[in-house]
Structure 1
Amino acid sequence: MKKRLISSILLTLLMVTLVSSPILAAYPTDKALNYIVCFNPGGESDLTARAQQKPLEKVLGTDVVVNYKIGGGGAVGWSELVNSNPDGYTVAGFNLPHIILQPLVRDNPGYQTEKIKPVYTFQSTPNILAVPKDSQFKTLDQLINYAKKAPGAVVIGGSGSYSANHLGTLEFNQAAGIKTTYIPFTGSGEAVPALIGGHVSALMTYTSMGKQYRDDMRILAVASEERVPALPNVPTFKELGYDYVEGAYRGMAVPPGTSEAKIKKLAAANRKLNNDPEFQKKLESMGFQLVNMGPEETEEFIEKRTKYYRQLLKEVGLL
């Protein structure tokens, strides 16, 4: 009888422990999800987060609050992410190649690539080279010929340092055999007005900005293997004789130490959004190309791209 009573008490304690365990507790609860955007309002990361915000709230059953942590080409936000509580309620948009390049090149970017735990990769945007509507450069060759005659005189703006735009400018210089001057801005939301205002000669930006501001800029070429459906009249660099393909991939990440169960829940939510026809139509109309890579696929992709960018950085003299 005594043994039976002790067993009953132990079983009750075990059940109470399991029910109260944070592993088995409902996730998410009514606590809001903090979604960190590492670039300016109006840029690709912001546009994506805002498009995801309400659908994510519906899928996850809790509020999603977008917060901006701007600076360092995204490094300020990613530094905050890796030092956040891994409770599943802090996420951030991540960008490739940015989170690979910065730790490779900078002494102390505030984070390491492997500390950013990927949840999902959901979209990409190839680079484009654009000039103001009233620019003297009507074609890519005109800009290149001018740059050859006046090395460094062509000033190309872009989003961030050691980013897809920054590296893309260096790759373009290499492919075209020219020297230009790169000016980093804190995001596309700041870079595009600088181009339109005539503060830079050209802009290395993304297809999404080309789509949104097509009436304010002249797009000379797109850095993709094939023409982009959102900009069907824009030739690729390859078409024009320059072997240059580059762009950015974006996704959602969590702090290191976040449980696999919570990562899977967030990944499933992202996949559900990307498979929704209405959401697909909205993103594609904005110039984004949808991508579907879960946590494991993204980690493999990051590992593969790290090897590629390490070699590329050596070729352009940054490593």
Structure 2
Amino acid sequence: MTHRHPTSHRRRQLAGLLAGMAVAGSSLLAGMAHAATWPSKPIQLVIPYPPGGSADLLGRPLALQLQQQLGQPVVLEYKPGAGGTLASQYVARAKPDGYTVLMVLAAHAINDSLYPKLPYDTRKDFAPVSLVANLPMIVVGSSKLQAKNIGELVKAAQAAPEKLTYGSAGNGNTGHLAGALFASTAGVKMTHVPYKGSAGVVNAMLASDIDLTFDSISTSIPHVRSGKLHALAVTSAKRSALAPEIPTVQEQGFPGFDINGWYAVIAPAGTPADITGKLSREIATALQNPSLQSQLAASGYEPVGSTPEALGAHIDREMERWAAVVKATGARIE
């Protein structure tokens, strides 16, 4: 029987430990090298909806400010379609080097339970970067809708089940689910009409093709101010600073009704943490810029600028919340 010398055994253990530390250290140094050289070329910010929508109204000025801070162009790439899933699929398959990132809306969390099968895993295929901003939603009527408040809307919907049409910026969009949740809560039936982006909804509203919409306040409020559309309520728990004269849905008989749009930046899974961390910090810095703040406030955006960890937790909560809403309302792809 042979006996191993305890000293040589400890040496081997120590050698293994040092080797492991060396690998970890080299990985850390590699990550620091990534951050030190990034960005060295233009960054592509993918927008999942057409130009003119609420994501564009936020993404465009944010990209300009980031460009000034980073010293590299931040180019907006529009990839609309399928409720934002086309853009998500594109970014999920992109090289995880920090040069392709995606602006997502609440639809990113909604789609996981609304679509039977997605070409990506919402939790595993992306790396969170920053929750950029929140944005209240507004219930707006077109000229063909006689109702001027939530109580009148409910009565009109009760009198003609499924006759009232509400538009949204696309299947799975926050406006789609907000309308479905409202109808379910109020015990009425309305018909959902999806469009490709907020601009499409607003055009349909101006043409009186549909009765109402649950839309981002940024894209509809100019037409409310001009008198072409009329506001019934905001969907958030509190009134919007942009339009404090418009009451909430809660104030009009639906306690607990609270829906906000939100906008975040994510990257492909595998993007080095030092890069996502650096971009997160740069976004937070950008949102402190007075000029950008005033521009966003004029459209109703409420800047956040979170850490990657906070965004990851936020997306998890939103996925759970909207899964329950989809189940409760029976919302489906139209």
TM-score (norm 2): 0.85
Identity %: 25
Offset at 1:37? 0.6
Q: Could you tell me which of 252, 258, 270 is aligned with 1:257?
A: 270
SS, match of residue 252 in structure 2:
coil
Deviations 1:275-295 (A, max 9, x none): 122211110111111223210
**Mapping 1:1-319, distance limit 5 Å:** 24-25=33-34, 26-96=36-106, 98-114=107-123, 115-133=125-143, 135-214=145-224, 215=226, 216-243=228-255, 244-318=257-331
Offset at 1:21? 5.5
Instruction: Please tell me whether the aligned partners of residues 143 and 208 of structure 2 are also in contact (alpha carbons under 8 angstroms).
Output: no
Offset at 1:212? 3.0
Aligned length: 301
Which position in structure 2 is the counterpart of 1:8? none
Distance 1:203 1:276 in 2: 32
Offset at 1:158? 0.7
Offset at 1:134? 6.0
Which of the two has higher C-alpha Rg? 2
Which position in structure 2 is the counterpart of 1:4? none
Distance 1:39 1:33 in 2: 18
Offset at 1:318? 4.6
Instruction: Please tell me whether the aligned partners of residues 168 and 247 of structure 1 are also in contact (alpha carbons under 8 angstroms).
Output: no
Distance 2:88 2:241 in 1: 32
Comparing 298-307 with 48-57, which one deviates more in the overlay?
Answer: 298-307
TM-score (norm 1): 0.89
Distance 1:180 1:27 in 2: 53
Structure 2: which 5+ runs fail to align?
Answer: 1-25
Instruction: Please tell me whether the aligned partners of residues 177 and 331 of structure 2 are also in contact (alpha carbons under 8 angstroms).
Output: no
Offset at 1:185? 1.1
Distance 2:222 2:38 in 1: 34
Distance 2:264 2:223 in 1: 23
SS, match of residue 24 in structure 1:
helix
Distance 2:299 2:320 in 1: 31
Comparing 48-57 with 243-252, which one deviates more in the overlay?
Answer: 243-252
* AA matched with 1:65: V
Distance 1:65 1:236 in 2: 37
Distance 1:155 1:134 in 2: 11
Distance 2:169 2:127 in 1: 23
- The CA RMSD measured in Å over matched residues stands at 1.9
